[in-house]
Amino acid sequence: MTFINAIILGIVQGLTEFLPISSSAHLRIVSDFLGTGADPGAAFTAIIQLGTETAVIIYFWRDITRIISKWFKALFRRIPQSDQDVRLGWFIILGSVPIVVLGLLFQKDIQTVFRSLWVVAIMLIVFGIVLGIADRFGASKRRLEDLTWPHAIIYGLAQALALIPGVSRSGGTISAGRFLGYDRYAATRYSFLLAIPAVFGSGIYEAYDSIKKNAHAVFTPLETVTATVVAGIVGFAVIAVLMNYITKRSYLPFVIYRIALGVLLVILLLTGVLKPGQ
């Protein structure tokens, strides 16, 4: 049954990674209901995110290759540093620093304390409200061309909050973007691009660390790879749907879903149906 459970978690990862509802929270919750016997862990979560981030690279391939190409050209003074894509490349690098630093500093807590279902429930509710306020009152007057160094740092700090399951990487960065006045498309697009270095770095590190330590895991390497591939396929479809959706509608349905799920989780914990863990 663990192979089937791995596929289910891969589907969950693909469905939830790009929506502002926290994929790590859903993996944590669904694993309990599947009866895997344990929380699949931060390492498993980080590794299968490689699949969904690969989907981002494929979907935004032209943007990514253009940004990288121009960034290197500017590095060798072939084009000016003021070029929009060059600046965006630097912003992504700068915005990736907070999650790397905080991830290393709080690595133990991320793998233990932060994975308590009580933490997940509270973060789902609190940051659901934050997203609702940001989306409702965001000015929508800025595009990606308007991104600045201070804003890049704020985006980076918001992304770092996603180290806590329940916050949501996309939810945190999109909320920050909306508070800063960026329209939904710009905030969402930059959220996806900003996640690439952090997620790939984390996934590769966790995979290497697991192999090096020969650590016990809920799922075998084959099951983890399968879940990663499934997550990537499902994730690609979700990106296409979401990017079309946010050009026409608000994030209100996701806000309602987050709060409802958080409240349900609190009830299940209080009644003993679920155990908080950690």
- Give me the DSSP letters along 75-95: HTTSS-TTSHHHHHHHHHHHH
pLDDT tops 90 at residue 44:
no
20-39 average pLDDT score: 79
Say if residue 278's pLDDT is above 80. Answer: no
Phi and psi (nearest 5°) for 35?
70, 40
Cα separation, 172 vs 70, in Å, equals 28
- Signed CA dihedral, 155, 141, 192, 197: sign only: negative
The yes-or-no verdict on residue 115 having pLDDT over 90 is no
Give the chain's mean pLDDT.
90
pLDDT per position as a tens digit, 143-152: 999 999 999 9
What is the pLDDT confidence band of residue 11, given thresholds at 50, 70 and 90?
Answer: very high
Per the model's pLDDT, the better-predicted residue between 107 and 263 turns out to be 263
At residue 109, the pLDDT reads 85
Amino acid present at 245: Y
83 C-beta neighbours (distance < 10 Å), count: 15
Residue whose structure tokens are 């490689």: 50
- Of the candidates 123, 96, 127, 112, which has an alpha carbon nearest to the alpha carbon of residue 202? 96
Which amino acid, 273?
A: V
| Per-residue pLDDT at 2 | 83
* pLDDT tens-digit series, residues 220-271: 889 989 999 999 999 999 999 999 998 889 999 999 999 999 999 999 999 9
Q: Tokens 């209901």, residue?
A: 33
Which pLDDT value is given to residue 216?
52
Q: What angle do CA 48, 68, 78 make, to 5 degrees?
A: 170
Region 47-62: mean pLDDT is: 94
Residue 1 has pLDDT above 70, yes or no: no
Under the banding of pLDDT at 50, 70 and 90, the label for residue 91 is: very high
Average pLDDT over residues 4-10: 92
Residues 108, 192, 223: CA angle, nearest 5 degrees? 55
Q: Which residues contact 113 (CB under 8 A, 6 or more apart)?
A: 119, 278
- pLDDT score, position 195: 93
Q: Above 80 in pLDDT, residue 204?
A: yes
Provide DSSP, the chain.
Answer: -HHHHHHHHHHHHHHHTTTTT-HHHHHHHHHHHHT-SS--HHHHHHHHHHHHHHHHHHHTHHHHHHHHHHHHHHHTTSS-TTSHHHHHHHHHHHHHHHHHHHHHHTHHHHHTGGG-HHHHHHHHHHHHHHHHHHHHH----B-GGG--HHHHHHHHHHHHGGGSTTS-HHHHHHHHHHHTTB-HHHHHHHHHHHHHHHHHHHHHHHHHHHHHHT---SS-HHHHHHHHHHHHHHHHHHHHHHHHHTTTS-SHHHHHHHHHHHHHHHHHHHTTSS----
**Percent of the chain's residues with pLDDT above 90:** 69
Nearest Cα residue to 233 out of 7, 1, 61: 7
70: its two tokens: 């121009």
**% the chain with pLDDT above 70:** 95
pLDDT of residue 256: 97
- pLDDT at residue 53 in the model: 92
Helix axis angle, 117-137 relative to 23-34, nearest 10°?
A: 140
How large is the angle between the packed helices 221-245 and 2-16, nearest 10 degrees? 20
172 — pLDDT class (breaks 50, 70, 90): very high
